[in-house]
């Protein structure tokens, strides 16, 4: 199958399923994606084989349009989406969360540790003025009770 056949089949599968703007957006995306991959040195056939059946892609696009979901818009997110979709068909492609995904999780983890630390410090600072006098009274009572 050629790039033009792929795009034609994708368009045929999307007609009467989604809005024309969604069709245009996806046709443009896949045309650019295939072109970029070919520029990287891959053959058109390899890229199209990786993408899979245009009817399956169209079904995914249609389902997302029905549920109100949106396909990822940035090139990296779209690449991750395509890899995840390809992996779900049983291919050996791995999902690449990318550098920004790792950085995002790291930042979220650091913020969670800071929030938990602040919560613990707040609880201690609230209870300390109450617990210190009680602790002092208990110690004094034990000292005097031990002498009697």
37-70 per-position pLDDT tens digit: 999 999 999 999 999 999 999 988 988 887 765 5
Residue 74 has pLDDT above 60, yes or no: no
Say if residues 30 and 51 touch (Cβ distance below 8 Å).
Answer: yes
Say if residues 57 and 10 touch (Cβ distance below 8 Å).
Answer: yes
pTM, two decimals, is: 0.46
Query: Rounded CA gap, 148 and 137, in Å?
Result: 17
What is the pLDDT averaged over residues 118-129?
A: 95
113: confidence class by pLDDT, cuts 50, 70, 90? very high
- pLDDT for 72 equals 45
Query: Rounded CA gap, 12 and 35, in Å?
Result: 21
């Amino acid at each position: 199958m050629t790039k033009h056949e792929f795009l034609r089949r994708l368009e045929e599968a999307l007609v009467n399923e989604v809005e024309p703007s969604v069709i245009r957006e996806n046709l443009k995306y896949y045309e650019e994606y295939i072109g970029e991959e070919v520029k990287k040195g891959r053959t058109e056939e390899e890229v199209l084989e990786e993408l899979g059946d245009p009817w399956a892609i169209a079904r995914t696009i249609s389902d997302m349009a029905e549920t109100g979901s949106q396909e990822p818009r940035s090139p990296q997110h779209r690449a991750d989406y395509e890899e995840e979709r390809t992996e779900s068909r049983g291919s050996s492609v791995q999902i690449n969360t990318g550098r920004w995904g790792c950085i995002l999780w790291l930042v979220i983890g650091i913020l969670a540790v800071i929030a938990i630390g602040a919560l613990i410090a707040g609880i201690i600072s609230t209870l300390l003025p109450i617990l210190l006098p009680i602790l002092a009274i208990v110690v004094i009572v034990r000292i005097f009770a031990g002498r009697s």
